[in-house]
């Protein structure tokens, strides 16, 4: 096995003599992370110096001892320390501490964790005390993350007679984890078979309350307690089918109630045990664990000769955690691009269902699709009408890679022998008049920031509402966004009625358009007024012409009376809104832009703010604008006095005529704002950008 070393010279004081210090470094080439030692029970910690440190036990092998104490491992005689600044190059700091550094310990070591408090580093360990069956928890302290650590109190912090015997009896006091809450309160959690919790004094060395038992479903050992975005998590070793897996629970308070959320991983490869360590570092989340796959110094893998590993971990918007696949690539720069199980063709699309590798997107914006169709003769992927033939590989899977695609969201389908299907690996979206697959070709993070979920800002709610329509004699549905502050007072808010386009429905703006993120981010930054946004079905969810006898004039025309006579009264009777034209706006994309013009220009007593994004407003050459929409543009002064904003936008690659309409309206004195999204077509990225430009202009 290749080892990487860097030699540095340390100059001490003003001495003319230099002391040569060997400091080993190594490059992360995948899992296992450390390849020159057997390592177990990883405990990551981000220190105030900005580095990520990982502490772990050193599983050692001794031929002269039998069973697990000998060549099979489970024989930790010291704790090691490693650190990194980039997850790629790591520094080996050597031994951080030994159990014999506690004069009361008989030398056996198990899991540990280090936390920083008040500028010092506190090392909580599990070791053996007195009776061979008595496990204990000790605490040591150091002034720097890598040590040296010394016993902080000269005695165990937790011993066996302090905890009631659970299913595992004398193995109770085992595997400590420490979390410091937002108010500075430290909490110690530990246990094998039983999960214990106690509040610590802020001096980190004394208990500050009674020891409690946390009921954790399927709990075995190795808890990892932490808080993230206001939610409490306990990630721990649980029992799978004969070996340990990693599960987790969530709670609104550190003391509960705790809700079991399921397994995060399967069993560790060739390992009976598995031990989690969770950390956020430089914008990414990581799960550390161990398996038993490393061969070293003549010893092959064994259940007690363990090796630490790391894979990236992802949270869903509701705070739940996506299942984590244990990979060989890990988070090494070689073969890793920051996503779980990265295929060679790129990174999994953000629109994939959980843990699916394909479709994936490479750095050129090309998408690779991979599907199973055993008896098929002809398989193609259809992306917005552009079809790419798929080729069957030796493994029987069909694959195709596209040309570079435009950034943003695209609908797509899989066609198998002429029949159209939705790829089961993608989330589904209503578009093209039916449920469709979707793929997001990512922009650079800085360009996408305005529609990206930002954990640091308050977030509003998008509610699904149902109401009865007397006009249609049926139930209808709308989605309503309320700002984060809505629940905290009795303030009334202005309303934006926001419409989808042809072949889409009321889900479009929330799912494909990411409007909630745009609103949350703008409101938090003070860029737009807090408002309520209503997204209803525009009666144009099919492709025009699908209904016999349908015309452009009739397509979706039934929506206007429903909006005026039913939707607006429903919203104003249900939500705290300002029910006057000065605080009512309407906007829509494509055919929704057409509906916006038809509805608002005929009802200026109800709307003062108007927006059309790639609006389907087609006029014959030579049309006198003063005559359209019942002559609403004939009196420019009156129109400009009534309408506080007429906004029109489109993508630069659309050729939709919006720019010409804006210029023509300006020529007859109609005030309007024109926006052009650079480089985009008739697509959701254009409309996200239009909404982002439109919102700051409303209700001023």
Render pLDDT for 400-427 as a digit per residue (tens, 0 to 9).
999 888 889 999 999 999 999 999 999 9
Q: Tens digit of pLDDT for each residue in 146-166?
A: 999 999 999 999 988 888 776
User: 10 Å Cβ neighbour count for 466?
Assistant: 9
Q: Decide: helix, strand or coil at residue 488.
A: helix
- Give the pLDDT confidence score for residue 348 in this predicted structure: 87
Q: Indicate the pLDDT class of residue 242, thresholds 50, 70 and 90.
A: confident
Q: What is the mean pLDDT of residues 650-657?
A: 88
Superfamily (CATH H level) for 460-697: Alpha/Beta hydrolase fold, catalytic domain (3.40.50.1820)
Helices 515-525/684-694 angle, 10° precision: 30
The pLDDT value recorded for residue 9 is 27
pLDDT for residue 268:
87
- Averaged pLDDT score across all residues of the chain: 89
pLDDT of residue 299: 72
Tokens of 372: 């199973």
Strand order in 397-401's β-sheet? Answer: 347-348, 360-361, 367-372, 397-401, 391-392
pLDDT at 73: 62
Token output for 155: 């005695």
Q: Could you report the per-residue pLDDT of 201-210, keeping only the tens digit for each?
A: 999 999 999 9
pLDDT of residue 335: 38
| Band (446; pLDDT cuts 50, 70, 90) | confident
pLDDT at 21: 42
Give the full edge-to-edge strand order of the sheet including 186-190. Answer: 177-180, 186-190, 195-199, 212-214
3-state DSSP percent of the chain in helix, strand and coil, to 5: 15, 40, 45
At the topology level, CATH places domain 5-342 in Tachylectin-2; Chain A (2.115.10)
What pLDDT score does 656 carry? Answer: 82
- Closest C-alpha to 296, from 33, 38, 30, 32: 38
Q: Kindly give, in sequence order, each residue whose CB lies less than 8 Å from that of residue 622, ignoring residues fewer than 6 positions away.
A: none
- Average pLDDT of 670-677? 96
Residue bearing the bigger pLDDT, 294 or 116: 116
In which band, very low, low, confident or very high, does the pLDDT at 380 lie, cut at 50, 70 and 90? very high
Query: Between residues 302 and 174, which one has the greater pLDDT?
Result: 174
- What's the pTM value of the predicted model, to 2 decimals? 0.56
Question: Residue 696: which residues within 8 A CB-CB, separation 6 or more?
Answer: 522, 527, 528
Q: What is the largest CA-CA distance in the chain?
A: 100
Question: What's the Cα-to-Cα distance from 555 to each of 49, 353, 616, 684, rounded to whole Å?
Answer: 63, 34, 12, 22
- How deeply is 317 buried, as exposed, middle or buried, from its count of CB atoms within 10 A (0-12, 13-18, 19+)? exposed
Between the two ends of the chain, the Cα-to-Cα distance in Å is: 67
620-631 mean pLDDT = 92
Q: Is the pLDDT of residue 508 over 90?
A: yes
d(CA 656, CA 590): 10
Q: Count how many residues are written for the chain.
A: 700
SS (H, E, C) 536-605: ECCCCCCCCCCCCCCCCCCCCCCHHHHHHHHHHHHHHHHCCECCCHHHEEEEEECHHHHHHHHHHHCCCC
Fold of domain 348-442: Immunoglobulin-like (2.60.40)
Which of 3-7, 175-179, 288-292, 386-390 shows the lowest per-residue confidence on average (mean pLDDT)? 3-7
pLDDT per position as a tens digit, 562-618: 999 999 999 999 999 999 999 999 999 999 999 999 999 999 999 999 999 999 998
pLDDT attached to residue 168:
55
Residue 23 has pLDDT above 80, yes or no: no
Q: Could you tell me the residue ranges of all domains in the chain?
A: 5-342, 348-442, 460-697
In DSSP terms, 437 is beta-bridged to 412, 428
| pLDDT of 45 strictly over 50 | yes
Q: Which of 294, 336, 335, 334 is nearest to 312 (CA)?
A: 336
To the nearest whole percent, how much of the chain has pLDDT over 70?
Answer: 92
Closest CA to 462 of 427, 501, 508: 508
**What's the rounded mean pLDDT across residues 213-218?**
94
Average pLDDT, integer, range 130-152: 89
Higher model confidence: residue 408 or residue 11? Answer: 408
Q: Which of 448, 449, 428, 430 is nearest to 439 (CA)?
A: 428
Q: Name the DSSP class of 272.
A: S
């Amino acid at each position: 096995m290749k080892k990487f070393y860097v030699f540095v010279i340390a100059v001490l004081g003003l001495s003319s003599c230099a002391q040569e210090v060997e400091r080993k470094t190594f490059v992360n080439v995948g899992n296992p992370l450390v390849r020159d030692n057997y390592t177990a029970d990883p405990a990551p910690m981000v220190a105030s110096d900005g580095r990520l440190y990982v502490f772990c036990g050193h599983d050692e092998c001794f031929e002269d001892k039998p069973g697990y104490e000998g060549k099979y491992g489970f024989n930790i005689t010291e704790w090691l320390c490693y650190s990194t600044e980039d997850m790629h190059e790591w520094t080996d700091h050597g031994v951080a501490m030994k159990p014999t550094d506690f004069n009361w310990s008989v030398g056996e070591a198990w899991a540990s964790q280090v936390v920083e408090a008040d500028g010092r580093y506190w090392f909580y360990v599990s070791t053996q005390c007195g009776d061979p069956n008595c496990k204990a928890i000790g605490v040591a302290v150091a002034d720097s993350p890598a040590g040296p650590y010394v016993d902080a109190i000269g005695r165990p912090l937790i011993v066996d007679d302090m905890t009631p015997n659970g299913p595992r009896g004398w193995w109770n006091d085992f595997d400590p984890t420490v979390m410091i809450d937002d108010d500075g309160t430290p909490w110690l959690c530990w246990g094998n078979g039983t999960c214990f919790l106690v509040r610590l004094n802020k001096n980190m060395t004394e208990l500050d309350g009674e020891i409690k038992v946390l009921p954790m479903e399927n709990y075995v050992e190795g808890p990892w307690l932490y808080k993230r975005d206001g939610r409490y998590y306990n990630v721990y070793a649980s029992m799978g089918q004969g070996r340990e897996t990693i599960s987790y629970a969530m709670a609104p308070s550190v003391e509960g109630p705790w809700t079991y959320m399921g397994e995060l991983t399967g069993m560790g490869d060739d390992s009976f045990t598995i031990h989690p360590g969770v950390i956020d570092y430089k914008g990414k989340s990581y799960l550390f664990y161990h398996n038993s796959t490393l061969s070293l110094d003549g010893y092959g893998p064994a259940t007690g000769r363990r090796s630490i590993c790391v894979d990236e971990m992802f949270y869903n918007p509701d705070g739940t955690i996506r299942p984590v696949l244990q990979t060989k690539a890990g988070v090494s720069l070689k073969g890793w691009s920051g996503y779980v199980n990265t295929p060679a063709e790129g990174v999994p699309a953000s629109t994939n269902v959980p843990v699916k590798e394909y479709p994936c997107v490479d750095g050129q914006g090309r998408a690779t699709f991979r599907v199973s169709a055993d008896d098929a003769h002809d398989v193609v992927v259809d992306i917005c009408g552009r079809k790419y033939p798929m080729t069957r590989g030796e493994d029987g899977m069909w694959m195709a890679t596209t040309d570079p695609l435009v950034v943003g969201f695209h609908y797509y389908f899989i066609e198998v022998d002429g029949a159209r299907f939705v790829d089961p690996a993608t989330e589904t979206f209503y578009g093209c008049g039916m449920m469709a697959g979707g793929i997001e070709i990512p922009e650079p993070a800085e360009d996408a920031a305005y529609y990206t979920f930002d954990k640091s800002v308050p977030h509003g709610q998008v509610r699904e509402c149902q109401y009865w329509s007397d006009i249609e004699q049926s139930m209808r549905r709308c989605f309503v966004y309320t700002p984060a502050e809505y629940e905290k007072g009795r303030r009334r808010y202005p309303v934006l009625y926001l419409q989808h386009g042809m072949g889409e429905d009321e889900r479009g703006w929330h799912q494909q358009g990411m409007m909630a993120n745009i609103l949350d981010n703008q409101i938090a930054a003070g860029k737009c007024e807090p408002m309520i946004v209503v997204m209803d079905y525009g009666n144009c969810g099919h492709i025009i012409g699908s209904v016999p006898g349908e015309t452009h004039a009739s397509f979706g025309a039934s929506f206007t009376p429903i909006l005026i006579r039913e939707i607006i009264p429903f919203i104003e009777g249900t939500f705290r809104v300002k029910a006057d034209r000065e605080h009512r706006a309407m906007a829509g994309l494509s055919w929704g832009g057409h509906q916006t013009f038809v509805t608002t220009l005929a009802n200026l007593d109800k709307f003062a703010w108007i927006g059309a994004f790639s609006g389907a407003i087609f006029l014959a050459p030579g049309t006198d604008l003063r005559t359209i929409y019942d002559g609403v543009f004939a009196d420019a002064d009156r129109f400009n006095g009534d309408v506080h904003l007429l906004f029109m936008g489109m993508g630069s690659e659309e050729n939709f005529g919006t720019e010409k309409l804006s210029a023509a309206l300006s020529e007859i004195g109609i005030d309007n704002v024109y926006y052009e999204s650079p480089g985009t077509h008739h697509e959701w990225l254009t409309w996200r950008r239009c909404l982002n430009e439109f919102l700051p202009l409303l209700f001023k």
